[in-house]
Amino acid sequence: MKPVKDTFKVLRRSPYQAMAAALAMSLTFFVSSIFIVLIVGGQLVLKYIEQRPQVIAFFKDDTKETRIAEIANEVKSTGLVREVKYVSKEEALAIYRERNKDDPLLLESVTADFLPASIDISINRAQDIEAVTKQVKDRPEVERVITPENLVGQLVKWTKTIRIGGIIFVSTLMAVSFLIIIMVIGMRIALRRDEISIMSLVGATKWYVSRPFFIEGALYGIVGASVAVFLVYSLLLFYSPNIQSFLGPILVFPINPLFFLYLWLAEVFAASTVGIVGAAIALYRYLRIK
Partner 1 sequence: MIQFESITKKYANTQALSDINLKIEDGEFVFIVGPSGAGKSTLLRLITREIAPSSGRILFREEDILRIPEAKLPMLRRKIGTVFQDFKLLLNRTVFENVAVPLEVLSKKQKEIEKEVSGVLEKVGLLEKANNFPAQLSGGEVQRTAIARAIVARPEVLLADEPTGDLDPTTALDVVKIMEKINQDDKTTVVMATHNAHIVNHLKKRVIVLAMGKIVKDEKEGKYETG
Site for partner 1 in 187-246 (CB under 8 A): 194-195, 197-206, 208
Q: Which is nearer to partner 1, 138 or 194 (CB)?
A: 194
Contact 290, 194 (CB under 8 A): no
The least CB distance from residue 6 to partner 1, in Å, is: 9
Q: Which is nearer to partner 1, 199 or 247 (CB)?
A: 199
Give every CB contact of residue 265 below 8 A, 6+ residues apart in sequence: none
Q: Which is nearer to partner 1, 88 or 197 (CB)?
A: 197
In the stretch 149-188, what mask flags binding to partner 1 with x, by CB under 8 A?
----------------------------------------
The least CB distance from residue 186 to partner 1, in Å, is: 20
- Preceding omega of 254 cis (within 30 degrees of 0): yes
Residue 56 within binding range of partner 1, rule CB under 8 A: no
Rounded Cα distance between 284 and 281, Å, is: 5
Q: Which is nearer to partner 1, 44 or 204 (CB)?
A: 204
Burial of 188 (0-12, 13-18, 19+ CB in 10 A): buried
Site for partner 1 in 79-108 (CB under 8 A): none
The least CB distance from residue 5 to partner 1, in Å, is: 11
The one among 12, 105, 111, 290 contacting partner 1 by CB under 8 A: 290
The least CB distance from residue 263 to partner 1, in Å, is: 37
Scanning 192-256, the segments in alpha helix (DSSP H) are 193-201, 206-247
Q: Which is nearer to partner 1, 155 or 283 (CB)?
A: 283
Burial of 274 (0-12, 13-18, 19+ CB in 10 A): buried
Q: Which is nearer to partner 1, 205 or 234 (CB)?
A: 205
> Which H or E run includes 279?
helix 257-286
State the number of CA atoms in the 13 A half-sphere of 225 facing the CB: 23
Site for partner 1 in 1-20 (CB under 8 A): 2
> Which H or E run includes 287?
none
Residues contacting partner 1: total by CB under 8 A: 15
Burial of 277 (0-12, 13-18, 19+ CB in 10 A): middle
Binding site for partner 1 (CB under 8 A): 2, 194-195, 197-206, 208, 290
